[in-house]
Amino acid sequence: MKFSWKIFLLCMGIYVASLTVTGMVVTENTYRSLLKKEVERSLEEESNLHSTLALYLLNNQRIALEKIELKNYSKSMVDMIKTDRNYLEIFDEKLSLLATNAPRAWFFSREELDIALKGQKNFVLRRDEEGLYLFVSNVLEIDDEKIVLSLIKDITYLDHHRREQYLLFIRTGLIGLAFVALITWALSTFLLKPFRELNSTAKNIASGNYHVRAKVNRKDEVGLLAEQLNIMADKIEQKMNQLKAEGQRQQRFIDNLTHELRTPLTSIIGYAEYLLKAKYNPEVFKKSLTYIYSEGNRMSKVAKTLMDMILIRENPLQLNKEKLKPLLVQIQRIMEVKAEKEGVLLEIKGEEAEVLLDKDLFKIVITNLVDNAINASAPGQKVTIGVEKVSGEIRVFVADEGKGMEEWETKKVIEPFYRVDKARSRKEGGVGLGLAICYQIIEEHGAGLDIESTVGIGTKIKIIFPDKCYKNFTNQSQVG
């Protein structure tokens, strides 16, 4: 069942229950109030009647100058009561009926007469098939002679009034029910409109339209829910874009790996097939075997490099606090031979700093970056290795004055098998995995990599260590 129907039925139920309880309480209270007033009025009327009849009998006794028999005046006393719905019964001391002007006789037990005969005025309510009646009984005594007076009032109109009031509540309630139903339906439709919009937005997101956002501008809980839904949609869209980009990177990795393996395999198979079919020629055999060895060695290098990437990812780093300047000096000495050969000046600059790192892996990173910088530089240009502190961060950088890269290339150089200068890389035996390994090592240290490059001016690659932010380490006690 829809939520709007639940709200509608709930409101209808509350309205009907409230109207029923209110109608019953009001009607019954009104009925009891009227009944109480009718009883009080009847008791007062009986008292007046009792006094009137007593005066009537005493006056007749004084006129007759003798004792009168009350039963002889019963008929005349009954005739004095001629109002509608008021009747009078007169009984003797044996509770035998002497006179009455009631239109009917009652054949049920009359306990109130016995009580009245004992001198106690009382009343009783009786209901039968024809209506509701009030019996007020009292004794009238003149000269030691007693008669019992029973004033009967037909108060059936009270039942009719109660029934009419109930009918009035029902008629009014049905009209109100229709009115409330229309208002409730309209309000539920209006109030649930934002939820329908949220539902539509959620369905769009679930179907893959991650750019859709809920357009609910409200300050209440619905607005907060819409805001959270939009935040969730932003996160999902961001994550999906990341997954898409990661999927594309993985596909490029597979494509590049396939290409890297296909080329040497084609050469190996081609030369092997040629050797199987050709006549033996020492010079040709030596040249072919040299190509086979070279391409096999290249495949081995690819496999070893990929294995290194797996080991870096799976094995924890051996972190220790290391001074950066002495480490950079070691790398400078290692790379000086190649720098001199290429006619490139290699220098160190910056201030001293200590960083928690895996020394051996970090040397691989800096060495690879310096090697790439030398390859990108022309004779007479300079490659700088340095350390700088900026806003609480320690940055290790390698800067060159070489060819530089386009901005879009700076985002691709960390992908496996990507080469900026493809011809030269292949010539030198590179497989395009150097920066990918460097980036993985840097990530494992909890550091960041930033590449600034301008074509024709040079490239600056910075390794950024946030203040005491390290992703992976062997011993927590090493962090200080």
Residue 472: name the closest of 448, 442, 445 by CA: 445
**Which option is the CATH number for 3-162: 1.10.260.40, 3.40.50.300, 3.30.450.20, 3.30.300.30?**
3.30.450.20
Residue 254 has a pLDDT of 67
Question: Among 86, 88, 139, 87, which residue's Cα sits nearest to residue 112?
Answer: 139
The tokens for 161 are 């009034």
Residue 108 CA: distances (Å) to CA of 94, 191, 208: 17, 63, 85
* pLDDT value of position 468: 57
Q: How far apart are CA 459 and CA 415, in angstroms?
A: 17
Q: What local confidence, expressed as pLDDT, does residue 34 receive?
A: 93
CATH code of the domain made up of 317-478: 3.30.565.10
> What is the value of pTM for the model shown?
0.47
The residues facing 100 across adjacent strands are: 89
Closest CA to 121 of 101, 135, 100: 135
Q: Spell out the long-range contacts of 475-480 with Cβ–Cβ below 8 A and sequence spacing 24 or more.
A: 475/319, 478/319, 478/320, 478/321, 478/356, 479/319, 479/356, 480/321
- 210, 229 contact by CB (below 8 A): no
Question: What pLDDT score does 416 carry?
Answer: 61
Q: Give average pLDDT by consecutive 10-residue segment, the chain, 480 residues.
A: 79 88 92 93 90 85 69 82 82 89 82 90 88 91 85 90 91 89 84 79 81 77 80 84 76 62 73 78 80 75 64 70 89 88 90 86 85 90 91 89 83 65 46 67 85 89 75 42
pLDDT value for 259? 57
What is the structure's pLDDT at 477? 40
What is the structure's pLDDT at 36? 93
**pLDDT of 427:** 45
Angle of CA points 117, 121, 123, to nearest 5°: 110
Q: How far is CA 321 from CA 306, 355, 397, 439, 471, in A?
A: 28, 5, 19, 21, 15
DSSP assigned state of 279: P
Q: How many CB atoms lie within 10 A of CB 419?
A: 17
Ordered by start, the domain boundaries in the chain are: 3-162, 211-315, 317-478
